[in-house]
Amino acid sequence: MIYEVRTYRLKPRTMPGFIEAFGKAYEYRKEFSPLSAFFYSEIGPLNQVIHIWPYENAAERDRIRGEAAAPGKWPPQAPEKPVHMESEVFVPFPFIDKFASGNIGPIFEWRSYSITPGLMPGLIEGWEAAYEGRAKLSPVVMAMHTEHGELNKFVHIWAYESLNQRQEVRAAAIETGVWPPAGTPKGAIVAQENKILFAAPFSPVQ
């Protein structure tokens, strides 16, 4: 399984129109393959949307994208085009092979880390040892690392009921020693970023 993460930056005040157009076009596009998630930014980089597509492999991605392309149907005909677009392909951690779905938010935290080359396997091992205890505090939507795009990148997405609950969960995880994973190799994480997201009405995870 792979996940294509497409991140678009929009012009200010054009997001509602873009999301509306995307949602209408998605009624056609989902017949070929469904989304895993569609998020838009609330805190962090503004005017950003992230849509995530699952595929069995790169060949299936190429086939479906070719089949789905149709004039006036896909891609979405939004009133304003994105000013920047990027695509990355991620591989899920082996013990978290599917995106979460359903009403588990509505707050989603997207954490993106740059990892020292060669230390991703050790980070995954550390995560696997600690993951079960951390997931009891709040659900993980996905944990994955890049295959194509910016290399040595690790993204994990968490769902929360509110920003207050996020603070409470993070404090409890540290206080109990459940998190961060104790098995993470020393020096593995070299940079960290995060952003708070909401889900579009048509996103499978809410």
CA distance 123 to 146: 14
What range does the domain containing 167 cover? 2-199
List the chain residues with pLDDT less than 70: none
Inside any domain, residue 106: yes
Lookup: tokens for 147: 């295959």
Give me the pLDDT at residue 71, please.
83
Domain count, the chain: 1
Q: How far is CA 79 from CA 8, 13, 44, 45, in A?
A: 15, 11, 24, 22
Burial 91-126 (b: 16+ CB within 10 A, else e): ebbeebeebbeeebbebbbbebbbbeeebbebbbeb
**Six-digit token string for 201:** 């009405």
Bond before 106 cis per omega within 30 degrees: yes
Q: Give the CATH number, domain containing residue 43.
A: 3.30.70.100
Q: Considering the domain boundaries, does residue 204 fall inside one?
A: no
Residue type at position 199: A
- Report yes or no on 123 lying in a domain: yes
Residue 205 included in any domain: no
Give the 3-state secondary structure percentages of the chain, helix then strand then coil, rounded to 5. Answer: 25, 35, 35
pLDDT at 130: 95
How far apart (Å, rounded) are the C-alpha atoms in residues 188 and 17? 41
Write down the H helix ranges in 30-119. 58-68
- According to the model, what pLDDT value does residue 70 have? 82
Which tens digit of pLDDT belongs to each residue from 124-157?
A: 999 999 999 999 999 999 999 999 999 999 999 9
Residue 156 lies in a domain: yes
Q: Is residue 206 part of a domain?
A: no
pTM (2 d.p.): 0.96
Q: Which candidate, 10, 54, 95, 72, places its Cα nearest to that of 205?
A: 54
Q: Identify any residues that bridge with 148 across adjacent strands, giving them in sequence order.
A: 89
Residue 80: predicted pLDDT: 92
